[in-house]
Structure 1
Amino acid sequence: MYPLPQWTQRADKRGLDPLGMQNSGVLLYQSLLPGISNVTLRMRYYGYYCWLSETYARKGATNDFEAWRNWVRRAEALYALVSAQAGETGVGGIDWANRRLAAAGRTIDFEMAASTDPAQERYLRQSLGVFGGAYYSQMVEMGLFTENRHGIQVATRDLGRRAATLFADAIGPDLVKLLRQKITDARVTPGDLERLEPIIPSAIAPDSAERLFYEAVLFAREEPARKSAHSRAATLALILDAASARGGWPDPEQVRWHMFDPPENALSPGLETQRPNWEAYQCQDLMQVACAALLAWAIAIINSAPHGQSLPEIRAEIVAHLAAQEEYLVSARSAYWRDIRCRIEPMTFAYQNAWRSLTSARGVVTDKAAEAINLMATLHQRIASRTDLATAVAQGLPDRGSAHSLRTEVGWLERREGEAVADLIADYMLERVVRRHSWVAMQKLRRQRDYTFLFEQRDARLVYLAAYQPVATTPRLQPAIQFLADIHLLGEDGPTPLGLAALEAMQ
Structure 2
Amino acid sequence: MKIIAGDNYFMQVETAWVKPPLQVGGLDHLAVQATCINIYGRLLPGITNVTDRARYYSFYPWLIWAFDKAGHREFNDAFVERFRRADCLFCLISQRHAAMSEGDADDHAAAMVGSDTLAGIARSLGADGAIRLSDFSLREGAKKRYFANKLGGLGQYYLGVLRELSIIDGDSTAGIRYTRQLGSVIAEQMDCSVNRTLFMKAVDADLVTAAELDALHGFCPCQLCNNPGERKILGELFFVRDRFQNTEAVPRRRSLKIILQLADLLCANGEQLSEALFRACTYSGNLPGGATWTVPPALSKTREKWAIYARNELLSIAVQGLFYALLDAYEASGIRMDASTDIANWFTEQPEVIEALDELGKEKTFSECVADSKNWLPALADWNEKMHEVQLTERITALSRGNKSAESRKKIVSAALRTLIALARRTNSEDRQYADLVFEADYFRYYPINLESFARYISGSWASSTIGDVLRWLSINWGLEIHLRVALRKLRGQSQSTFRIRPSDHGMEVIAIPPAVHTRPRFNQAVRVLKDIGALEKSNLGWQLSPFGRAQFELADAS
Equivalent residue for 2:10? Answer: none
Equivalent residue for 1:293? Answer: 321
Q: Whole-Å Cα distance in 2 between the matches of residues 150 and 117 of structure 1?
A: 18
Query: In the alignment, does 2:504 pair up with 1:504?
Result: no
CA contact (8 A) 1:308 1:464 kept: no
Quick one: which of 400, 410, 434 aligns to 1:366?
A: 410
**CA spacing shift, 1:8–1:329, aligned 2, 3 Å:** farther
**CA spacing shift, 1:344–1:426, aligned 2, 3 Å:** same
CA contact (8 A) 2:357 2:414 kept: no
Q: Whole-Å Cα distance in 2 between the matches of residues 76 and 150 of structure 1?
A: 18
CA deviations over 1:251-281 (Å, ceiling 9, x no partner): 2222222222225253222211101111111
Query: Structure 1 residues 274-283 or 344-353, which shifts more?
Result: 344-353
CA contact (8 A) 2:535 2:546 kept: yes
**SS of structure 2 residue aligned to 1:188:** strand
Q: Which has the higher contact order (CA 8 A, sep 6+)?
A: 1
**CA spacing shift, 1:69–1:367, aligned 2, 3 Å:** same
CA deviations over 1:422-443 (Å, ceiling 9, x no partner): 2233123212210111122223
Q: Whole-Å Cα distance in 1 between the matches of residues 326 and 463 of structure 2?
A: 24
Quick one: which of 267, 281, 292 aligns to 1:258?
A: 281
Q: Whole-Å Cα distance in 2 between the matches of residues 15 and 32 of structure 1?
A: 25
Q: Give the CA deviation at 1:166.
A: 0.3
Q: Give the CA deviation at 1:460.
A: 8.0
CA deviations over 1:206-243 (Å, ceiling 9, x no partner): 57121111111111113243323211111111111111
Equivalent residue for 1:311? Answer: 340
CA contact (8 A) 2:320 2:516 kept: yes
Q: Whole-Å Cα distance in 1 between the matches of residues 449 and 163 of structure 2?
A: 28
Equivalent residue for 2:463? Answer: 418
**CA spacing shift, 1:113–1:149, aligned 2, 3 Å:** closer
- Aligned-partner residue type, residue 367 of structure 1: K
Q: Give the CA deviation at 1:53.
A: 1.7
- Aligned-partner residue type, residue 259 of structure 2: I
Equivalent residue for 1:241? Answer: 261
Q: Give the CA deviation at 1:77.
A: 0.6
- Aligned-partner residue type, residue 553 of structure 2: L
CA contact (8 A) 2:321 2:516 kept: yes
Query: In the alignment, does 2:481 pair up with 1:435?
Result: yes
Q: Whole-Å Cα distance in 2 between the matches of residues 234 and 500 of structure 1?
A: 13
Q: Give the CA deviation at 1:450.
A: 2.8
Quick one: which of 52, 77, 99 aligns to 1:41?
A: 52
Q: Give the CA deviation at 1:324.
A: 6.6
Q: Whole-Å Cα distance in 2 between the matches of residues 487 and 447 of structure 1?
A: 41
Query: Structure 1 residues 345-354 or 250-259, which shifts more?
Result: 345-354
Quick one: which of 433, 445, 449 aligns to 2:491?
A: 445
* Mapping for residues 93-492 of structure 1, pairs under 5 Å: 93-101=114-122, 102=124, 106-117=129-140, 120-147=143-170, 151-171=174-194, 175-206=195-226, 208-247=228-267, 249-263=272-286, 264=292, 266-309=294-337, 310-320=339-349, 325-329=356-360, 335-341=364-370, 344=373, 347=380, 350-360=388-398, 361-362=401-402, 364-384=408-428, 387=431, 390-391=434-435, 400-407=444-451, 409-411=453-455, 413-414=457-458, 415-420=460-465, 421-458=467-504, 461-492=507-538
Query: Radius of gyration: which is bigger?
Result: 2
Equivalent residue for 1:14? Answer: 25
- Aligned-partner residue type, residue 393 of structure 2: W
**CA spacing shift, 1:58–1:206, aligned 2, 3 Å:** closer
**CA spacing shift, 1:395–1:334, aligned 2, 3 Å:** farther
Quick one: which of 45, 51, 71 aligns to 1:60?
A: 71
Q: Give the CA deviation at 1:65.
A: 4.2
**SS of structure 2 residue aligned to 1:401:** helix
CA contact (8 A) 2:31 2:486 kept: yes
- Aligned-partner residue type, residue 33 of structure 1: L
**CA spacing shift, 1:42–1:74, aligned 2, 3 Å:** same
- Aligned-partner residue type, residue 280 of structure 1: I
**SS of structure 1 residue aligned to 2:428:** helix
Q: Give the CA deviation at 1:323.
A: 6.7
> What TM-score, normalized to structure 1?
0.89
**SS of structure 2 residue aligned to 1:146:** strand
Query: Structure 1 residues 217-226 or 361-370, which shifts more?
Result: 361-370
CA deviations over 1:9-34 (Å, ceiling 9, x no partner): 36433233221222222222121111
**SS of structure 2 residue aligned to 1:260:** helix
CA contact (8 A) 2:44 2:522 kept: yes
Q: Whole-Å Cα distance in 2 between the matches of residues 396 and 470 of structure 1?
A: 27
- Aligned-partner residue type, residue 274 of structure 2: D
Q: Whole-Å Cα distance in 1 between the matches of residues 547 and 44 of structure 2?
A: 23
Q: Whole-Å Cα distance in 2 between the matches of residues 27 and 253 of structure 1?
A: 19
Q: Give the CA deviation at 1:484.
A: 0.9
CA contact (8 A) 1:290 1:376 kept: yes
Equivalent residue for 2:85? Answer: 74
Q: Give the CA deviation at 1:167.
A: 0.3
- Aligned-partner residue type, residue 503 of structure 2: Q
- Aligned-partner residue type, residue 343 of structure 2: I
**SS of structure 1 residue aligned to 2:34:** helix
CA contact (8 A) 2:321 2:515 kept: yes
Q: Give the CA deviation at 1:154.
A: 2.0
> What TM-score, normalized to structure 2?
0.81
Q: Whole-Å Cα distance in 1 between the matches of residues 310 and 513 of structure 2?
A: 25
**CA spacing shift, 1:156–1:339, aligned 2, 3 Å:** farther
Query: Structure 1 residues 277-286 or 62-71, which shifts more?
Result: 62-71
- Aligned-partner residue type, residue 197 of structure 1: H
CA contact (8 A) 2:155 2:172 kept: no
- Aligned-partner residue type, residue 416 of structure 2: A
Q: Whole-Å Cα distance in 1 between the matches of residues 164 and 210 of structure 2?
A: 37
